Structure 1
Amino acid sequence: MMFFNYKYRYLFILLLALYTYINTELCQVYTYFQINIHWYYSFLIILLITFFTWEANRLLAKPFENLFPGNEKVIRRSIIFFFSGLVVSYLATIGTDLFFAEVVLHEKPESILNPLKLTLIYASLINLLFHLLNLVVVYQEKFKAKELEAEELKRMHAQAELMAIKQQINPHFLFNNLNVLSGLVMQQSADANNFIEAFSKVYMHILANHNKELIELKKELDFLEPYLFLLKQRFPESLQISVEVPNKYYNYYVVPVALQMLVENAIKHNVVSRKKPLSIKIYANGNSTLSVINNLQPRNETGPSSNIGLNNIQKRYILTAGKEITIEKKPDTFSVNLPLIEINTYESINN
């Protein structure tokens, strides 16, 4: 509710009171309602009512933000806030009119009936004006926040795309896979053609889906198949990967390349050898989440892990679907649970 804390609020109050007084004079309101009052008293009353209405709402703004936090309760908060401000402005108006009638003008309280009606109407209108302007500011800030989220999502998406591509085309990756391919060719193995085909499918998937925020789980699993084939050729008898996802989950959405990044993350941080094979399991656990779990056999790393990949996936899920991944580390296993996004939810996000 930053509107009521506007730094030039007192100048705004003065100009609004002056504007209102000029209009009452132009419309001859005091003559029409037979109100006999000096112009300076009239202007002062209008100014005080404007001031008290603004200040009352300014003081109420903070408690209402604490009672109704977040953007989800804007309408409810605004309605209750408006009526609370209206009640306080009425009390301030009545107090101001009575003070001027008895203390300044020395008139009987019953003589202020018409002026009181007019000032109460004025208090209602300016209270409504203030709250409408406040709503404009609130929704403008909300719109700016959404724009910032969209920009952050684009940045994270570009970062994820770059990370995925770098993981695939870095010299180490190319060297390892070209060594595997060279060995297959030298052995005149039939798997050489399959290896080349899988290699091309991995790149085609990344290029085809680089601009998407979410992707169907079926397409992500189709991409994962050639990727896992490359890994199994690279780590024969050292890597055991199983995928158990029923067809009923295929129409859900996930973040693109998330599964590949989790598999790569497991290989990066664990020993993979024939003596100590790495086991990775990908399965739907029945509560609208997809789990990737591996046995723990950590490498002897020189420094702490930066968790860039996991943080990246987490932020993309939060910005895209408003959901979070969960990470579970046990003595023998490490698992990451990815939320499965329903199609209608994803469509509503994009619409």
Structure 2
Amino acid sequence: MRKNYAELGFNDKWFVLLGIPLLGFLTPIIYLGVRLHREPYYPWQALVFSIGITTVFWLGNRWIIILLRRKYPQLTQSRKRIVLTAVLMLLFVMVVANFNGISPPFWKAEPVPYPDLNVLGVINTLVIAGIYEVIYYQAQLRLSIQGQEELRHESLQAQIRALKSQVDPHFLFNNLNTLSSVVHDDPKKAEQFIQQLSKLYRHILEMQETTLITVKEELDLLQAYIYLLKTRFGESLRVSLDVPDACHEKKIIPFALQILVENAIKHNIVSTAKPLTVRIETIGDRLVVTNNLQRKLQPVASTGKGLENINGRIRLLHHPEMQYIVTADHYIVTLPLFPAT
């Protein structure tokens, strides 16, 4: 029976083992009116014959169902399959019901009337086929929903990978520029920079398939990134973190903080005279990134890809988007935090 699970939509072992004797037992009671406690009494011969004929009808119709589901497995072929199944079942019932010698002689005697096996076979077949068909369609619907969910998940992962791929070249390009400015002046520092860059990039590659990471993991990545930035800017860049431990297990979009810090550096003056200060803290269920606003004299052309990259990934997860506020002195971005579970 195991190899037929796919066609039936479920393991019908116990359904068959319990269904045949139960239907066989009930058939004489329903169709002949026999009773266990009063006349006309239920003859044991009727039970044996009823279970036997039910077994033939059940297993024969079951075989027809399996055969045609194998031949026409697609849902688009359902109409053709059902019509052919009904025709073959009817022919099968007629052949069995009218086979010479199958009529039980003990049912012809009073007080137990002889049933019409054609009617009996058709009714029992409708019951059996109806149960199998309902269970089959439920199984197909469940598989369809599961397949749609898996497809949606795969589509989501593909879109997230595409958005992440926009970050990596920009990230690598900026750090190679930093390295080129350090390597001649301080080779030892350049060596440490390369080690940190390698460490950070390894983490980025490991998280390519990750949709969300914990706040703690994101802060660890940010610390490594800040080390690279401090190599270039020194005390001209000041980053403060005020994220309580209670928020560390919540989830966040990977590399979001890196993008926001990088965005602040791109559009603002970073110098000893005008240090750029970035503060990262939590307010409610959001992570807030604030930097002092000191725009460059020659504004840098902005494509908006950094912020849209973050928002694009958040939208795919059906969560409230990132928000940002521009005041006279500060640029403030709030990121949603996802539940830990």
Q: How high is the TM-score relative to the length of structure 2?
A: 0.53
Following superposition of structure 1 onto structure 2, how do residues 1-351 of structure 1 map, counting pairs within 5 Å?
150=153, 153-170=156-173, 172-185=174-187, 188=188, 191-285=189-283, 287-299=284-296, 300-301=298-299, 303=301, 305-344=302-341
Q: In the alignment, residue 175 of structure 1 is paired with which amino acid?
A: N
Shift of 1:151: 6.0
- How far apart, in 1, do the equivalents of 2:229 and 2:318 lie? 30
Unaligned runs of 5+ in 1: 1-136, 345-351
Q: In the alignment, residue 211 of structure 2 is paired with which amino acid?
A: E
Shift of 1:157: 1.4
> Closer, same or farther in 2 for the Cα pair 1:310/1:184, shift >3 Å?
same
- How far apart, in 1, do the equivalents of 2:290 and 2:152 lie? 30
> Closer, same or farther in 2 for the Cα pair 1:333/1:198, shift >3 Å?
same
Counterpart of 2:46 in structure 1 is none
- How far apart, in 2, do the equivalents of 1:154 and 1:218 lie? 22
- State the Cα deviation string for residues 268-300 of structure 1 (Å, max 9, x = none): 111211222111111112x01111110111222
Q: In the alignment, residue 271 of structure 1 is paired with which amino acid?
A: I
- How far apart, in 1, do the equivalents of 2:314 and 2:295 lie? 27
Shift of 1:193: 4.8
Query: Contact 2:289 / 2:332 at 8 angstroms: preserved in 1?
Result: yes
Unaligned runs of 5+ in 2: 1-140
Q: How high is the TM-score relative to the length of structure 1?
A: 0.52
- How far apart, in 2, do the equivalents of 1:253 and 1:297 lie? 31
Q: Between the two proteins, what is the percent identity of the paired residues?
A: 37
| Count of residue pairs brought into register by the alignment | 201
Query: Contact 2:267 / 2:300 at 8 angstroms: preserved in 1?
Result: no
Q: In the alignment, residue 199 of structure 2 is paired with which amino acid?
A: K
Shift of 1:184: 2.2
- State the Cα deviation string for residues 24-69 of structure 1 (Å, max 9, x = none): xxxxxxxxxxxxxxxxxxxxxxxxxxxxxxxxxxxxxxxxxxxxxx
- How far apart, in 1, do the equivalents of 2:171 and 2:300 lie? 24
Query: Contact 1:156 / 1:312 at 8 angstroms: preserved in 2?
Result: no
> Closer, same or farther in 2 for the Cα pair 1:265/1:159, shift >3 Å?
farther
Secondary structure of 1:228 counterpart? helix
Q: In the alignment, residue 315 of structure 1 is paired with which amino acid?
A: G
Q: Which has the larger radius of gyration?
A: 2
- How far apart, in 2, do the equivalents of 1:328 and 1:334 lie? 6
- How far apart, in 1, do the equivalents of 2:198 and 2:329 lie? 35
Secondary structure of 1:262 counterpart? helix
> Closer, same or farther in 2 for the Cα pair 1:245/1:318, shift >3 Å?
same
Query: Contact 2:290 / 2:330 at 8 angstroms: preserved in 1?
Result: yes
Q: In the alignment, residue 249 of structure 2 is paired with which amino acid?
A: N
